[in-house]
Amino acid sequence: MESDYETYNLDEEEDATASFEKATQCPICHKVGDFDMLYSCFYEESAYSIHLCHFCDSVFFTIYRDYAGVFQIQYQYPKEVENSSMPIYIEQLSPQFLNIYQQALKAEEYNLDQIAGMGFRKALEFLVKDYSISKTPSDADKIKEMPLNSCIEKYIDHHKIKALAKRAAWLGNDHSHYLKKHSGRDLQDLKTLISLATQWINLEIESETYEREIEFKK
């Protein structure tokens, strides 16, 4: 969606009217709505604006590029990454997994894709190892020192969790090593596999919790 705004032409050093893509979401609080453009200007094919968010009372900046006569949004800042919600049993199982995952999300948000992939891979390792330790606490020290793939093979019995964790590890290694073995897959595939693994782990823990807490009474 686009609208015409009064702006300032830095090329000609005069007031002008130009068409801008409307900012519809605050990059700070992530609320969706209409935002007042306090100031804007353009120079050659780039434009810049300042908006006020009435939800969080913050000011944010937007950079645009000219496409077919309309200044399209390219980047907004400051940008705050929304916290990714995780199932409660995952948060309890591995708080460090959640912490690392949030940091990887922030790297991705700032287009640091070469770093984000390694972050997601590290988050996966904490998830897998904390899960494995919860299943076999007597081997905790051994699990902490094991390579990720070895840990998955030896300590994860659940078929779906093992299959998803193995594939997530493969893609995570692609983001951590020089050579990439799965060229047709990207960061979103890695995130999807981690998400599926967390859901299966959470489901298993939740199911076992109810089975343990609720006994059949004759």
pLDDT the model gives residue 83: 61
200-208 LR contacts (CB < 8 Å, sep 24+): 200/158, 200/160, 200/161, 200/164, 201/89, 201/90, 201/93, 201/127, 201/131, 201/161, 202/87, 202/88, 202/89, 202/90, 204/158, 204/161, 205/89, 205/93, 205/134, 206/87, 206/89
pLDDT the model gives residue 112: 85
Q: Which residues of 103-128 are buried (b: 16+ CB within 10 A; e: fewer)?
A: bbbbbbeeeeeeebbbbbbbbbbbbb
- The pLDDT confidence band at residue 98, using thresholds 50, 70 and 90, is very high
pLDDT the model gives residue 80: 74
Q: Give the model confidence (pLDDT) of 102-114 as tens digits.
A: 999 888 887 787 8
Percent of the chain with pLDDT over 90: 65
pLDDT the model gives residue 82: 63
pLDDT the model gives residue 124: 96
Model pTM greater than 0.85?
Answer: no
For the segment 46-64, the average pLDDT, to the nearest whole number, is 94
For the segment 206-216, the average pLDDT, to the nearest whole number, is 86
- In DSSP notation, 146-211 reads S-HHHHHHHH---HHHHHHHHHHHHHHHHTTSSS-S-TT--HHHHHHHHHHHHHHHHHHHHHHHHH
Q: List the single range of 79-88, 153-162, 204-213 with lowest mean pLDDT.
A: 79-88
For the segment 35-40, the average pLDDT, to the nearest whole number, is 92
For the segment 190-196, the average pLDDT, to the nearest whole number, is 94
Residue 24 has pLDDT above 80, yes or no: yes
Domain boundaries, the chain: 2-77, 88-213
For the segment 101-128, the average pLDDT, to the nearest whole number, is 90
Residue 179 has pLDDT above 80, yes or no: no
Strand boundaries in 68-153, DSSP class E: 70-77
